[in-house]
Structure 1
Amino acid sequence: MTVESHADVRGLRLAYIDFGGTGTPVLALHGHFGRARMFAPLAAALAPAHRVIALELRGHGHSNHADGYAPDDYLEDVAAFVRGLGLGPVVVVGHSMGGVLGFRLAARHPALVRALVNEEGGALNRRPEIPHPVLDVRPWPRRAPTLDELRRQVEAHGIPDAGYFLESAVERDDGWGFLFDHDAMVESQEALVGDWWPDWLGSTCPALLVHGPDSFVLPTSMVREMAGRRPGTVLRELPGCGHWPHDDDPVAFAGAVREFLGTLATP
Protein backbone atom coordinates (compact mmCIF):
# COMPACT_ATOMS: atom_id res chain seq x y z
CA MET A 1 0.00 0.00 0.00
CA THR A 2 1.45 3.37 -1.05
CA VAL A 3 1.70 5.86 1.80
CA GLU A 4 2.61 9.53 1.50
CA SER A 5 4.10 10.90 4.70
CA HIS A 6 6.53 13.38 6.24
CA ALA A 7 9.59 13.07 8.45
CA ASP A 8 11.19 15.70 10.65
CA VAL A 9 14.81 15.80 9.49
CA ARG A 10 17.39 18.27 10.77
CA GLY A 11 14.81 20.99 11.36
CA LEU A 12 12.99 20.40 8.07
CA ARG A 13 9.77 18.59 7.26
CA LEU A 14 10.61 16.31 4.36
CA ALA A 15 7.96 14.49 2.35
CA TYR A 16 8.37 10.93 1.19
CA ILE A 17 6.40 8.12 -0.41
CA ASP A 18 6.59 4.57 0.89
CA PHE A 19 5.39 2.41 -1.98
CA GLY A 20 4.80 -0.47 0.43
CA GLY A 21 5.82 -4.05 0.85
CA THR A 22 8.12 -5.93 3.16
CA GLY A 23 11.00 -6.57 0.78
CA THR A 24 14.53 -5.23 0.85
CA PRO A 25 14.42 -1.42 1.25
CA VAL A 26 15.38 0.74 -1.71
CA LEU A 27 15.82 4.48 -1.16
CA ALA A 28 15.02 6.50 -4.30
CA LEU A 29 16.40 10.02 -4.79
CA HIS A 30 15.20 12.32 -7.57
CA GLY A 31 17.21 14.97 -9.38
CA HIS A 32 16.77 18.74 -9.56
CA PHE A 33 13.13 19.78 -10.11
CA GLY A 34 12.02 16.18 -9.41
CA ARG A 35 9.37 14.52 -7.24
CA ALA A 36 9.16 11.30 -5.28
CA ARG A 37 6.25 10.07 -7.37
CA MET A 38 8.47 9.72 -10.44
CA PHE A 39 9.59 6.39 -8.97
CA ALA A 40 6.10 4.83 -8.94
CA PRO A 41 6.68 2.74 -12.11
CA LEU A 42 9.99 1.44 -10.76
CA ALA A 43 8.40 0.59 -7.42
CA ALA A 44 5.66 -1.37 -9.15
CA ALA A 45 8.22 -3.25 -11.25
CA LEU A 46 10.35 -4.17 -8.23
CA ALA A 47 7.49 -5.26 -5.96
CA PRO A 48 7.10 -7.37 -3.91
CA ALA A 49 10.78 -8.29 -3.53
CA HIS A 50 11.78 -4.69 -2.83
CA ARG A 51 10.16 -1.90 -0.85
CA VAL A 52 10.82 1.44 -2.54
CA ILE A 53 10.82 4.57 -0.40
CA ALA A 54 11.22 7.80 -2.36
CA LEU A 55 12.29 10.96 -0.54
CA GLU A 56 11.47 14.49 -1.68
CA LEU A 57 14.63 16.49 -1.06
CA ARG A 58 14.70 19.91 0.58
CA GLY A 59 13.11 22.54 -1.65
CA HIS A 60 11.42 19.93 -3.84
CA GLY A 61 7.87 18.62 -3.97
CA HIS A 62 6.07 18.95 -0.66
CA SER A 63 9.24 19.14 1.43
CA ASN A 64 10.17 22.37 3.20
CA HIS A 65 12.21 25.02 1.51
CA ALA A 66 15.50 25.74 3.26
CA ASP A 67 18.08 28.42 3.88
CA GLY A 68 20.78 26.54 1.98
CA TYR A 69 21.14 24.03 -0.84
CA ALA A 70 24.77 22.95 -0.61
CA PRO A 71 25.55 19.35 -1.58
CA ASP A 72 26.45 18.57 2.03
CA ASP A 73 23.06 19.87 3.18
CA TYR A 74 21.33 17.29 0.99
CA LEU A 75 23.82 14.62 2.04
CA GLU A 76 23.23 15.02 5.76
CA ASP A 77 19.45 15.24 5.23
CA VAL A 78 19.45 11.85 3.53
CA ALA A 79 21.76 10.26 6.10
CA ALA A 80 19.52 11.48 8.92
CA PHE A 81 16.40 10.29 7.08
CA VAL A 82 17.78 6.77 6.63
CA ARG A 83 18.84 6.60 10.27
CA GLY A 84 15.52 8.01 11.47
CA LEU A 85 13.49 5.33 9.72
CA GLY A 86 15.94 2.60 10.68
CA LEU A 87 16.31 1.60 7.05
CA GLY A 88 20.02 1.09 6.63
CA PRO A 89 21.86 -0.33 4.93
CA VAL A 90 19.77 0.41 1.83
CA VAL A 91 20.11 0.16 -1.89
CA VAL A 92 20.13 3.74 -3.17
CA VAL A 93 18.66 4.55 -6.59
CA GLY A 94 19.39 8.10 -7.66
CA HIS A 95 18.75 10.12 -10.79
CA SER A 96 21.04 12.99 -11.87
CA MET A 97 21.65 15.06 -8.72
CA GLY A 98 20.10 12.16 -6.79
CA GLY A 99 22.70 9.87 -8.34
CA VAL A 100 25.53 12.11 -7.17
CA LEU A 101 23.90 12.29 -3.75
CA GLY A 102 23.69 8.50 -3.66
CA PHE A 103 27.35 7.87 -4.37
CA ARG A 104 28.39 10.62 -1.98
CA LEU A 105 26.26 8.96 0.71
CA ALA A 106 28.04 5.66 0.04
CA ALA A 107 31.44 7.35 0.32
CA ARG A 108 30.69 9.45 3.40
CA HIS A 109 28.29 7.12 5.25
CA PRO A 110 29.21 3.61 4.02
CA ALA A 111 27.32 1.82 6.80
CA LEU A 112 24.05 3.20 5.37
CA VAL A 113 24.48 1.99 1.77
CA ARG A 114 24.40 -1.60 0.59
CA ALA A 115 24.52 -0.92 -3.14
CA LEU A 116 24.11 1.92 -5.65
CA VAL A 117 22.07 2.49 -8.78
CA ASN A 118 23.31 5.71 -10.37
CA GLU A 119 21.16 6.97 -13.23
CA GLU A 120 22.91 9.79 -15.06
CA GLY A 121 24.80 11.22 -12.06
CA GLY A 122 28.22 12.38 -13.25
CA ALA A 123 31.53 12.24 -11.41
CA LEU A 124 32.49 15.56 -12.99
CA ASN A 125 29.97 18.38 -13.31
CA ARG A 126 31.69 21.45 -14.69
CA ARG A 127 32.63 23.16 -17.92
CA PRO A 128 34.07 22.34 -20.41
CA GLU A 129 33.33 18.65 -19.86
CA ILE A 130 29.66 19.44 -19.18
CA PRO A 131 28.67 22.33 -21.46
CA HIS A 132 25.52 23.33 -19.52
CA PRO A 133 25.72 22.24 -15.87
CA VAL A 134 23.08 24.79 -14.78
CA LEU A 135 19.61 25.29 -16.23
CA ASP A 136 18.65 28.88 -15.46
CA VAL A 137 14.95 28.76 -14.63
CA ARG A 138 14.76 32.25 -13.15
CA PRO A 139 13.06 33.70 -16.26
CA TRP A 140 10.38 31.00 -16.17
CA PRO A 141 6.83 32.04 -15.23
CA ARG A 142 5.81 32.03 -11.58
CA ARG A 143 2.13 31.68 -12.45
CA ALA A 144 0.04 30.90 -15.52
CA PRO A 145 -3.76 30.77 -15.87
CA THR A 146 -3.78 27.11 -16.99
CA LEU A 147 -1.47 24.12 -16.96
CA ASP A 148 -1.30 24.18 -20.75
CA GLU A 149 -0.26 27.84 -20.67
CA LEU A 150 2.42 27.05 -18.07
CA ARG A 151 3.76 24.37 -20.40
CA ARG A 152 3.69 26.74 -23.35
CA GLN A 153 5.60 29.45 -21.49
CA VAL A 154 8.25 27.05 -20.21
CA GLU A 155 8.77 25.51 -23.64
CA ALA A 156 9.07 29.01 -25.08
CA HIS A 157 12.31 29.23 -23.07
CA GLY A 158 13.88 26.49 -25.20
CA ILE A 159 12.65 23.39 -23.33
CA PRO A 160 11.57 20.83 -25.97
CA ASP A 161 9.25 18.97 -23.57
CA ALA A 162 8.27 20.46 -20.21
CA GLY A 163 6.63 17.26 -18.98
CA TYR A 164 9.31 16.45 -16.39
CA PHE A 165 9.07 19.90 -14.83
CA LEU A 166 5.27 19.93 -14.89
CA GLU A 167 5.28 17.00 -12.46
CA SER A 168 6.01 19.73 -9.91
CA ALA A 169 3.21 22.03 -11.09
CA VAL A 170 0.22 22.72 -8.84
CA GLU A 171 -2.85 24.92 -9.05
CA ARG A 172 -3.12 27.71 -6.49
CA ASP A 173 -5.62 30.53 -5.99
CA ASP A 174 -3.74 32.79 -8.39
CA GLY A 175 -3.03 30.19 -11.08
CA TRP A 176 -0.68 27.34 -11.93
CA GLY A 177 2.90 27.39 -10.67
CA PHE A 178 5.74 25.19 -9.50
CA LEU A 179 6.35 23.74 -6.05
CA PHE A 180 10.04 24.56 -6.31
CA ASP A 181 11.51 28.04 -5.90
CA HIS A 182 13.17 29.25 -9.09
CA ASP A 183 16.06 31.05 -7.38
CA ALA A 184 16.71 28.16 -5.00
CA MET A 185 16.95 25.69 -7.87
CA VAL A 186 19.57 27.81 -9.61
CA GLU A 187 21.49 28.13 -6.33
CA SER A 188 21.31 24.36 -5.83
CA GLN A 189 22.52 23.57 -9.35
CA GLU A 190 25.39 26.02 -9.07
CA ALA A 191 26.46 24.39 -5.79
CA LEU A 192 26.60 21.01 -7.53
CA VAL A 193 29.09 22.26 -10.13
CA GLY A 194 32.41 20.64 -9.33
CA ASP A 195 34.60 17.55 -9.29
CA TRP A 196 32.91 14.58 -7.59
CA TRP A 197 35.42 11.94 -8.64
CA PRO A 198 36.75 11.39 -5.09
CA ASP A 199 33.26 10.51 -3.89
CA TRP A 200 32.49 8.31 -6.88
CA LEU A 201 35.68 6.36 -6.23
CA GLY A 202 35.30 6.55 -2.45
CA SER A 203 33.04 3.53 -1.88
CA THR A 204 33.36 -0.19 -2.51
CA CYS A 205 29.74 -1.37 -2.59
CA PRO A 206 28.32 -2.88 -5.80
CA ALA A 207 27.06 -0.26 -8.25
CA LEU A 208 24.96 -0.09 -11.39
CA LEU A 209 25.54 2.89 -13.67
CA VAL A 210 22.61 3.56 -16.03
CA HIS A 211 23.18 5.89 -18.97
CA GLY A 212 21.14 7.23 -21.85
CA PRO A 213 23.49 7.57 -24.85
CA ASP A 214 21.37 10.47 -26.14
CA SER A 215 21.82 12.42 -22.89
CA PHE A 216 22.54 16.12 -23.31
CA VAL A 217 23.81 16.26 -19.72
CA LEU A 218 26.29 13.41 -19.33
CA PRO A 219 28.76 12.41 -22.08
CA THR A 220 29.06 8.69 -22.83
CA SER A 221 32.85 8.97 -22.64
CA MET A 222 32.60 10.11 -19.01
CA VAL A 223 30.18 7.36 -18.07
CA ARG A 224 32.48 4.72 -19.51
CA GLU A 225 35.41 6.22 -17.64
CA MET A 226 33.36 6.14 -14.43
CA ALA A 227 32.60 2.46 -14.91
CA GLY A 228 36.18 1.63 -15.82
CA ARG A 229 37.76 3.36 -12.86
CA ARG A 230 35.47 2.08 -10.11
CA PRO A 231 35.72 -1.65 -9.26
CA GLY A 232 32.43 -3.46 -8.81
CA THR A 233 30.54 -1.19 -11.21
CA VAL A 234 28.25 -2.49 -13.94
CA LEU A 235 27.43 -0.14 -16.84
CA ARG A 236 24.14 -0.35 -18.71
CA GLU A 237 23.63 1.95 -21.68
CA LEU A 238 19.99 2.03 -22.77
CA PRO A 239 19.64 2.75 -26.52
CA GLY A 240 17.26 5.52 -27.48
CA CYS A 241 17.35 7.06 -24.01
CA GLY A 242 18.51 10.50 -22.95
CA HIS A 243 18.99 12.02 -19.52
CA TRP A 244 15.79 10.42 -18.20
CA PRO A 245 16.04 6.68 -19.00
CA HIS A 246 13.37 5.91 -16.39
CA ASP A 247 10.93 7.95 -18.51
CA ASP A 248 12.33 7.24 -21.98
CA ASP A 249 12.20 3.45 -21.54
CA PRO A 250 10.72 2.55 -18.15
CA VAL A 251 10.58 -1.16 -18.95
CA ALA A 252 14.27 -1.37 -19.88
CA PHE A 253 15.26 0.80 -16.92
CA ALA A 254 13.31 -1.28 -14.42
CA GLY A 255 14.65 -4.46 -16.00
CA ALA A 256 18.24 -3.27 -15.62
CA VAL A 257 17.67 -2.33 -11.98
CA ARG A 258 15.86 -5.60 -11.20
CA GLU A 259 18.62 -7.66 -12.82
CA PHE A 260 21.29 -5.82 -10.82
CA LEU A 261 19.40 -6.21 -7.54
CA GLY A 262 19.16 -9.91 -8.27
CA THR A 263 22.94 -10.18 -8.19
CA LEU A 264 23.22 -8.85 -4.63
CA ALA A 265 23.78 -11.26 -1.80
CA THR A 266 20.95 -11.65 0.71
CA PRO A 267 21.63 -9.30 3.64
Structure 2
Amino acid sequence: MPIELNYLDTGGAGTPLVVIHGLFGSADNWRSHIKAWESSRRVVAVDLRNHGRSPHVTGMGYAEMAGDVLALLDRLSIPCAHLLGHSMGGKVVISLARLAPERVASLIVGDIAPVAYGHDHDSVFAGLRRVVEGRPANRREADALLAEHVSEKAVRLFLATNLVRGEPEGMALRLGLDEIQDDYESIMGEPAGSEPFTGPTLVLRGRDSHYVADEHLPALHEVLPEARLVTLEAGHWLHAEQPEAFRESIDEFLAAVESGAA
Protein backbone atom coordinates (compact mmCIF):
# COMPACT_ATOMS: atom_id res chain seq x y z
CA MET A 1 0.00 0.00 0.00
CA PRO A 2 1.56 3.36 -1.01
CA ILE A 3 2.21 5.89 1.72
CA GLU A 4 1.66 9.65 1.60
CA LEU A 5 5.07 11.22 1.01
CA ASN A 6 6.20 14.64 2.13
CA TYR A 7 7.27 16.91 -0.72
CA LEU A 8 8.23 20.43 -1.80
CA ASP A 9 6.38 21.88 -4.80
CA THR A 10 7.33 25.17 -6.46
CA GLY A 11 4.17 25.24 -8.56
CA GLY A 12 4.08 26.50 -12.11
CA ALA A 13 3.08 25.34 -15.56
CA GLY A 14 4.55 22.73 -17.87
CA THR A 15 5.85 19.24 -17.31
CA PRO A 16 7.29 19.12 -13.77
CA LEU A 17 10.77 17.97 -12.80
CA VAL A 18 10.44 15.50 -9.93
CA VAL A 19 13.61 15.24 -7.82
CA ILE A 20 14.35 12.22 -5.64
CA HIS A 21 17.22 12.09 -3.14
CA GLY A 22 19.55 9.24 -2.26
CA LEU A 23 20.03 7.11 0.84
CA PHE A 24 20.07 9.18 4.08
CA GLY A 25 19.10 12.30 2.07
CA SER A 26 15.93 14.37 1.78
CA ALA A 27 14.26 16.98 -0.38
CA ASP A 28 15.96 19.65 1.76
CA ASN A 29 19.35 18.68 0.29
CA TRP A 30 18.16 19.95 -3.10
CA ARG A 31 17.02 23.44 -2.10
CA SER A 32 19.82 25.28 -3.94
CA HIS A 33 19.05 23.41 -7.16
CA ILE A 34 15.32 23.95 -6.69
CA LYS A 35 15.92 27.68 -6.29
CA ALA A 36 17.93 27.74 -9.52
CA TRP A 37 15.25 25.82 -11.45
CA GLU A 38 12.04 27.25 -10.04
CA SER A 39 12.07 30.38 -12.22
CA SER A 40 11.93 28.30 -15.39
CA ARG A 41 10.00 25.13 -14.44
CA ARG A 42 7.87 23.47 -11.80
CA VAL A 43 9.94 21.35 -9.43
CA VAL A 44 8.60 18.74 -7.03
CA ALA A 45 11.18 17.37 -4.56
CA VAL A 46 10.23 14.25 -2.63
CA ASP A 47 11.09 12.77 0.77
CA LEU A 48 11.12 9.01 0.25
CA ARG A 49 9.70 6.71 2.93
CA ASN A 50 11.78 6.62 6.14
CA HIS A 51 13.55 9.84 5.04
CA GLY A 52 13.01 13.52 5.70
CA ARG A 53 9.48 14.28 6.90
CA SER A 54 7.84 11.24 5.32
CA PRO A 55 6.39 8.40 7.42
CA HIS A 56 8.47 5.53 8.81
CA VAL A 57 7.23 2.20 7.49
CA THR A 58 8.52 -1.32 6.91
CA GLY A 59 9.96 -2.12 3.50
CA MET A 60 12.49 -0.36 1.27
CA GLY A 61 11.87 -2.29 -1.95
CA TYR A 62 12.07 -0.35 -5.18
CA ALA A 63 8.61 -1.37 -6.38
CA GLU A 64 7.22 -0.03 -3.09
CA MET A 65 9.14 3.25 -3.28
CA ALA A 66 8.22 3.77 -6.93
CA GLY A 67 4.60 3.12 -5.95
CA ASP A 68 4.81 5.85 -3.31
CA VAL A 69 6.04 8.34 -5.92
CA LEU A 70 3.36 7.30 -8.41
CA ALA A 71 0.72 7.85 -5.73
CA LEU A 72 2.13 11.34 -5.14
CA LEU A 73 1.96 12.13 -8.87
CA ASP A 74 -1.67 11.03 -8.80
CA ARG A 75 -2.36 13.17 -5.72
CA LEU A 76 -0.84 16.21 -7.46
CA SER A 77 -2.67 15.45 -10.74
CA ILE A 78 0.63 15.12 -12.63
CA PRO A 79 0.07 12.79 -15.60
CA CYS A 80 3.68 12.84 -16.79
CA ALA A 81 6.95 14.18 -15.38
CA HIS A 82 10.67 14.45 -15.93
CA LEU A 83 12.25 12.28 -13.22
CA LEU A 84 15.63 13.02 -11.60
CA GLY A 85 17.05 10.64 -9.01
CA HIS A 86 20.45 10.46 -7.34
CA SER A 87 21.94 7.19 -6.05
CA MET A 88 19.15 5.23 -4.34
CA GLY A 89 16.76 7.78 -5.81
CA GLY A 90 18.18 6.92 -9.21
CA LYS A 91 17.09 3.32 -8.73
CA VAL A 92 13.65 4.56 -7.65
CA VAL A 93 13.19 6.58 -10.85
CA ILE A 94 14.51 3.72 -13.02
CA SER A 95 11.96 1.45 -11.30
CA LEU A 96 9.13 3.91 -11.87
CA ALA A 97 10.13 4.35 -15.52
CA ARG A 98 10.14 0.58 -16.10
CA LEU A 99 6.86 -0.01 -14.25
CA ALA A 100 4.92 3.00 -15.59
CA PRO A 101 6.74 4.38 -18.66
CA GLU A 102 3.68 6.37 -19.75
CA ARG A 103 4.17 8.62 -16.70
CA VAL A 104 7.78 9.52 -17.60
CA ALA A 105 8.62 12.31 -20.05
CA SER A 106 12.35 11.75 -19.51
CA LEU A 107 14.68 10.11 -17.05
CA ILE A 108 17.77 11.58 -15.37
CA VAL A 109 19.90 9.25 -13.24
CA GLY A 110 22.64 10.57 -10.95
CA ASP A 111 25.63 8.27 -10.37
CA ILE A 112 24.01 4.88 -10.03
CA ALA A 113 23.71 1.82 -12.27
CA PRO A 114 20.81 -0.67 -12.38
CA VAL A 115 22.87 -3.35 -10.65
CA ALA A 116 23.23 -4.86 -7.19
CA TYR A 117 26.04 -3.51 -5.03
CA GLY A 118 27.84 -4.89 -1.99
CA HIS A 119 27.53 -3.52 1.53
CA ASP A 120 28.88 0.01 1.51
CA HIS A 121 27.43 1.75 4.58
CA ASP A 122 28.48 -0.22 7.67
CA SER A 123 30.42 2.72 9.16
CA VAL A 124 27.52 5.09 8.47
CA PHE A 125 25.02 2.84 10.22
CA ALA A 126 27.43 2.50 13.16
CA GLY A 127 27.85 6.28 13.37
CA LEU A 128 24.12 6.94 13.24
CA ARG A 129 23.49 4.29 15.90
CA ARG A 130 26.11 5.99 18.07
CA VAL A 131 24.24 9.29 17.73
CA VAL A 132 20.97 7.65 18.74
CA GLU A 133 22.60 6.02 21.77
CA GLY A 134 24.62 9.09 22.74
CA ARG A 135 21.67 11.53 22.81
CA PRO A 136 23.81 14.57 21.89
CA ALA A 137 22.76 17.95 23.23
CA ASN A 138 23.82 19.82 20.10
CA ARG A 139 25.29 19.40 16.62
CA ARG A 140 28.87 19.63 17.84
CA GLU A 141 28.34 16.67 20.16
CA ALA A 142 26.54 14.79 17.39
CA ASP A 143 29.47 15.33 15.03
CA ALA A 144 31.89 14.00 17.64
CA LEU A 145 29.79 10.85 18.02
CA LEU A 146 29.57 10.36 14.25
CA ALA A 147 33.33 10.87 13.96
CA GLU A 148 33.92 7.73 16.05
CA HIS A 149 32.87 5.76 12.95
CA VAL A 150 32.79 8.20 9.99
CA SER A 151 36.10 9.93 9.30
CA GLU A 152 35.05 12.04 6.28
CA LYS A 153 33.87 15.47 7.41
CA ALA A 154 31.78 15.99 4.26
CA VAL A 155 29.90 12.75 4.89
CA ARG A 156 29.25 13.73 8.52
CA LEU A 157 27.91 17.10 7.43
CA PHE A 158 25.55 15.37 5.00
CA LEU A 159 24.36 12.91 7.65
CA ALA A 160 23.84 15.79 10.08
CA THR A 161 21.09 17.16 7.83
CA ASN A 162 18.95 14.44 9.42
CA LEU A 163 19.32 15.88 12.92
CA VAL A 164 16.36 17.63 14.53
CA ARG A 165 15.76 19.02 17.99
CA GLY A 166 14.37 16.18 20.09
CA GLU A 167 12.09 16.15 23.11
CA PRO A 168 12.55 17.36 25.73
CA GLU A 169 16.13 18.37 24.85
CA GLY A 170 18.98 17.27 22.63
CA MET A 171 19.24 16.13 19.05
CA ALA A 172 17.42 13.23 17.40
CA LEU A 173 17.43 11.62 13.94
CA ARG A 174 14.37 12.01 11.73
CA LEU A 175 15.39 8.92 9.72
CA GLY A 176 13.54 5.63 10.02
CA LEU A 177 16.89 4.05 10.83
CA ASP A 178 15.53 0.65 11.91
CA GLU A 179 13.38 0.34 8.81
CA ILE A 180 16.23 1.34 6.49
CA GLN A 181 18.73 -1.02 8.08
CA ASP A 182 16.26 -3.92 8.24
CA ASP A 183 15.75 -3.82 4.47
CA TYR A 184 19.20 -2.65 3.41
CA GLU A 185 19.56 -5.64 1.08
CA SER A 186 16.69 -4.31 -1.03
CA ILE A 187 18.30 -0.87 -1.22
CA MET A 188 21.55 -2.35 -2.51
CA GLY A 189 19.71 -4.58 -4.98
CA GLU A 190 18.57 -4.02 -8.53
CA PRO A 191 15.72 -1.67 -9.49
CA ALA A 192 12.23 -3.06 -9.95
CA GLY A 193 10.77 -3.89 -13.35
CA SER A 194 11.60 -6.35 -16.10
CA GLU A 195 11.43 -4.30 -19.30
CA PRO A 196 13.90 -1.65 -20.52
CA PHE A 197 12.88 2.00 -20.44
CA THR A 198 13.20 3.29 -24.00
CA GLY A 199 12.42 6.96 -23.41
CA PRO A 200 14.98 9.80 -23.41
CA THR A 201 17.52 9.24 -20.65
CA LEU A 202 20.52 11.08 -19.22
CA VAL A 203 22.95 9.33 -16.89
CA LEU A 204 25.39 11.55 -15.01
CA ARG A 205 28.34 9.90 -13.29
CA GLY A 206 31.30 11.15 -11.28
CA ARG A 207 34.73 10.40 -12.68
CA ASP A 208 36.00 9.63 -9.17
CA SER A 209 33.02 7.47 -8.19
CA HIS A 210 32.81 3.67 -8.45
CA TYR A 211 29.04 3.51 -8.78
CA VAL A 212 28.90 3.77 -12.60
CA ALA A 213 32.16 2.13 -13.61
CA ASP A 214 32.81 1.08 -17.20
CA GLU A 215 32.08 -2.51 -16.19
CA HIS A 216 28.50 -1.45 -15.35
CA LEU A 217 27.80 0.07 -18.78
CA PRO A 218 26.52 -3.09 -20.51
CA ALA A 219 23.90 -3.57 -17.77
CA LEU A 220 23.06 0.13 -17.86
CA HIS A 221 22.46 0.15 -21.62
CA GLU A 222 20.43 -3.05 -21.41
CA VAL A 223 18.00 -1.41 -18.97
CA LEU A 224 18.28 2.15 -20.41
CA PRO A 225 19.05 1.66 -24.11
CA GLU A 226 18.61 5.36 -24.97
CA ALA A 227 20.89 6.57 -22.18
CA ARG A 228 23.27 9.41 -22.91
CA LEU A 229 26.24 9.17 -20.51
CA VAL A 230 27.94 12.32 -19.18
CA THR A 231 30.94 12.14 -16.84
CA LEU A 232 31.58 15.05 -14.46
CA GLU A 233 34.80 15.85 -12.61
CA ALA A 234 33.38 14.74 -9.27
CA GLY A 235 32.77 11.84 -6.94
CA HIS A 236 29.46 10.27 -5.99
CA TRP A 237 28.01 13.58 -4.71
CA LEU A 238 28.34 15.19 -8.14
CA HIS A 239 25.34 17.50 -7.63
CA ALA A 240 27.08 18.98 -4.55
CA GLU A 241 30.65 18.92 -5.88
CA GLN A 242 29.87 20.27 -9.36
CA PRO A 243 26.48 21.96 -9.01
CA GLU A 244 26.78 24.27 -12.03
CA ALA A 245 27.99 21.55 -14.40
CA PHE A 246 25.34 19.21 -13.00
CA ARG A 247 22.52 21.67 -13.66
CA GLU A 248 23.91 22.69 -17.05
CA SER A 249 23.93 19.08 -18.23
CA ILE A 250 20.34 18.61 -17.06
CA ASP A 251 19.14 21.92 -18.54
CA GLU A 252 20.63 21.06 -21.94
CA PHE A 253 19.07 17.60 -21.85
CA LEU A 254 15.62 18.85 -20.85
CA ALA A 255 15.73 21.59 -23.49
CA ALA A 256 16.47 18.96 -26.13
CA VAL A 257 13.68 16.69 -24.85
CA GLU A 258 11.12 19.48 -24.75
CA SER A 259 12.08 20.71 -28.23
CA GLY A 260 11.81 17.20 -29.63
CA ALA A 261 15.52 17.01 -30.45
CA ALA A 262 16.30 14.25 -27.94
Smaller-chain TM-score range? 0.7 to 0.9
- Whichever residue aligns with residue 62 of structure 2, its letter is P
Gaps of 5+ in 2: none
Match of 1:44 in 2: 35
| Residues in 2 aligned to 1:118 and 1:253: alpha-carbon distance in whole angstroms | 11
CA distance in 2, matches of 1:14, 1:81: 7
Contact 2:4 2:68 in 1 (8 A): no
Task: Name the CA distance, whole Å, in 1 between partners of 2:36 and 2:215.
Answer: 29
Per the alignment, residue 19 of structure 1 pairs with 10
Question: Are 1:79 and 2:79 an aligned pair?
Answer: no
1:215 is aligned to 209
After superposition, the Cα gap between the structure-2 partners of 1:260 and 1:135, relative to the gap in structure 1 and judged at 3 Å, is farther
2:125 to 124, 131, 137: 137
* Residue 266 (structure 1) shift: 5.0
Within 5 Å, which residues of 2 pair with 1:74-113?
74-113=65-104
Q: Aligned AA for 1:182?
A: L
The percentage of aligned residue pairs carrying the same residue is 26
Which residue identity is paired with 2:170? G
**Cα distance in structure 2, aligned partners of 1:41 and 1:249:** 12
Once the 2 structures are TM-superposed, how far is the Cα of residue 212 of structure 1 from its aligned partner?
A: 0.9
Query: What is the identity, as a one-letter code, of the residue corresponding to 1:148?
Result: R
Please tell me the residue identity of whatever aligns with 2:93: G
Q: Which runs of 5+ in 1 are unaligned?
A: 1-8
Q: In the comparison of the two structures, how many residue pairs are matched?
A: 252
Greater share of strand: 1
Question: How much has 1:69 moved relative to structure 2?
Answer: 2.4
> Residues 106 and 197 of structure 1: is their aligned pair in 2 closer, same or farther, counting only changes over 3 Å?
closer
1:4 corresponds in structure 2 to none
Give, in angstroms, the shift of residue 134 of structure 1.
6.0
Say if 2:142 is the partner of 1:150: yes
The RMSD of aligned alpha carbons is 2.3
Give the one of 158, 180, 186 matched to 2:181: 186
Q: Answer whether contact 2:20 2:86 (CA < 8 A) is retained.
A: yes
Displacement after TM superposition at 1:82 (Å)? 1.0
Paired residue for 2:242? 249
Contact 2:63 2:192 in 1 (8 A): no
Question: TM-score, normalized by length of structure 2?
Answer: 0.87
Distance 1:158 1:135 in 2: 6
Name whichever of 39-48 and 243-252 sits farther off.
39-48
Structure 2 residue aligned with 1:116, among 76, 97, 107? 107
Deviations 1:69-101 (A, max 9, x none): 222221211111112211121000001111001
Which structure features the higher share of helix residues? Answer: 2
Alignment match, 2:24:
33
Name which structure has the greater RCO, CA cutoff 8 Å, separation 6+. 2
What is the distance in 2 between the residues matched to 1:227 and 1:44?
31
**What SS class does the counterpart of residue 51 from structure 2 fall into?**
coil
Q: Helix, strand or coil: the match of 1:124? A: coil
Q: CA deviation at 1:256?
A: 0.9
